[in-house]
């Protein structure tokens, strides 16, 4: 439809998640008119990110060296491990500054519909990490949705017999929200998980 | 927030039109896990598009050489010129196969709010093209919105005194649409522009 290389660009952009044909076209036209220096910078960072970024050999967090900053930080508590689905969950938890232990990134959640079973996640690697006996608690911080809950249930069954303390993040009302607008499941969980008033 | 180069990538992606911070993050994580060959291809096409694509010296259509395929095609009618806002409008019109003349891409529409006046558009270049006297009709195919109409009105005043036939694309009901759902302005125009039944 378009001049050869413009169509190539639209095709490549259209392969990105959440970028439909119309957005791809819009981005391509923007780039056609953009400063070549800006386009070059985007092009370079794409190459750089694939060259530099790898996954931590221990926890599978994103890392620029063999082991990530968190795994190599001696100030992090080696007895508590937080299991998350994705790298972005690590970033979200780090942002809270509430957790000083280490992580394990599963690489997703169990989802039969998407053909993801326990074997597709880094559960075998998680079990290997438990071998040294240093860990005392595992916090399952998978997403509070169907797949995340299924994954947490699966891991609980696997880990509890090992005599570890296995915990889940609290479910309840989001801070700053309106009770009135909470969905029933969340409100129900907030009741079940109620705590003594401070 | 993220490892250096990952944050750089998120920042660069977030500069693209229609890509918010959340989408930028989503695309970045997708690229982190994508096949390096695919990411390389996107990176390469970005460089290639800036290296290869320029704008036709005559009509300002996108081109891979000094003059675009349409301007250099001897089968195109040199007496009819279609004035459009953007390159993508050329593509849309070419797709109809209804027009066999040539184009002139203005590079936008008059929009005082965005600081775009006649001087920011390629109107001077359009006037230069009329000098050889070969043209007999100019079709103003700007967008049927406020800015497009303003641009067409401006050009009509400029061109009509030159003794050229100046036309606009017909306004009316979109084919395949429901009369009931047409907005009043469109329906009103469809009445004003009514034609003898075939």
Model confidence pLDDT, tens digit, residues A19-56: 998 899 999 989 988 999 999 999 999 999 999 888 99
- In which band, very low, low, confident or very high, does the pLDDT at B163 lie, cut at 50, 70 and 90? confident
pLDDT number for residue B88: 86
| Contact indicator for A31, A9 with CB cutoff of 8 Å | yes
pLDDT category at A108 given cuts 50, 70, 90 is: very high
Q: Does B92 touch chain A (CB under 8 A)?
A: no
**pLDDT at residue A196, rounded to an integer:** 74
At residue B1, the pLDDT reads 62
pLDDT in tens, B107-161: 999 999 999 999 999 999 999 999 888 899 999 999 988 999 999 999 999 999 9
Residue A83 · residue A104 · CB < 8 Å? yes
C-alpha span between B104 and B108 (Å, rounded): 11
In A90-194, at which residue ranges do the beta strands (DSSP E only) sit? 102-105, 137-140, 165-168
H/E segment holding residue B102: strand B102-105
Flag whether residue B62 sits within 8 Å of chain A, measured between CB atoms: yes
Q: Tokens for A4?
A: 């050869």
Q: What is the pLDDT of residue B119?
A: 94
Measured distance CA(A183)–CA(A196) in Å, rounded: 23
Phi, psi of A35 (to 5 degrees): -60, 130
Q: How far is residue A85's CA from residue A109's CA, in Å, rounded to a whole number?
A: 6
**Hey, is A157 helix, strand or coil?**
helix
Asked if the ipTM is above 0.85, the reply is no
Do residues B47 and A41 touch, judged by C-beta distance below 8 A?
no
Q: Which of A39, A43, A72, A85 to mutate: most B Cβ within 10 Å?
A: A43
Please spell the DSSP secondary structure of A116-141, one letter per residue.
B-GGGTTHHHHHHHGGGS---EEEE-
Determine phi and psi for B90, rounding to 5 degrees.
Answer: -60, -45
Contact (CB<8Å) A62/B12:
no
Share of chain A above pLDDT 90, in %: 60
CA distance B182 to B190: 10
Chain A CB within 8 Å of residue B26 CB:
yes
Query: Are residues A51 and B40 in contact, defined by beta-carbon separation less than 8 angstroms?
Result: no
Residues 39-58 of A with CB under 8 A from B: 39-50, 52-53
Mean pLDDT for B73-92 is 92
Taking the whole predicted model, whether its pTM rises above 0.90 is answered as: no
Tokens of B73: 């095609």
Please report, for residues B61, B84, B89, the alpha-carbon distance to residue B117 in angstroms, rounded to integers and kept in the order given. 20, 16, 20
The DSSP bridge pattern shows strands A80-84 and A137-140 to be parallel
Which tokens go with B102? 């040539």
Contacts of B13 (CB under 8 A, 6+ apart): A42, B19, B23, B24, B27, B28
For residue A26, the chain B residues in CB contact (below 8 A) are 17-18
CA B121/CA B110 separation, integer angstroms: 8
- pLDDT score, position A120: 94
**CA-closest candidate to residue A13, choices B90, B19, B62, B61:** B19
The dihedral region occupied by B133, where left means phi > 0, alpha psi between -120 and 50, and beta the remainder, is: left
Name the CA dihedral angle for A75, A80, A86, A88, rounded to a multiple of 10 degrees.
-40
- B135, B159 in Cβ contact below 8 A? no
Residues on chain B touching A1 (C-beta within 8 angstroms)? 91, 95
Residue contacts between A and B (CB atoms, under 8 Å): 133
């Amino acid at each position: 439809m378009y001049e050869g290389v413009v169509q190539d660009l639209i095709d490549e952009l259209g392969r990105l998640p959440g970028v439909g044909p119309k957005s791809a076209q819009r981005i391509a036209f923007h780039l056609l008119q953009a400063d070549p220096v800006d386009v070059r910078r985007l092009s370079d960072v794409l190459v750089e990110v694939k060259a530099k970024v790898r996954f931590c050999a221990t926890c599978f967090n994103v890392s620029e060296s063999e082991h990530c900053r968190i795994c190599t930080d001696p100030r992090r508590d080696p007895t508590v491990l937080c299991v998350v689905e994705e790298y972005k969950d690590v970033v979200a938890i780090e942002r809270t500054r509430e957790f000083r232990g280490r992580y394990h990134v599963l690489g997703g959640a169990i989802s039969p519909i998407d053909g993801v079973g326990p074997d597709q996640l880094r559960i075998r690697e998680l079990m290997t990490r438990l071998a040294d006996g240093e860990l005392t608690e595992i916090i399952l911080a998978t997403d509070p949705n169907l797949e995340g809950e299924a994954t947490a249930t699966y891991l609980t069954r696997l880990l509890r017999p090992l005599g570890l303390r296995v915990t889940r993040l609290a479910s309840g009302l989001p801070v700053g929200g309106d009770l009135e607008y909470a969905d029933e499941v969340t409100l129900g969980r907030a009741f079940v998980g109620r705590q003594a008033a401070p």
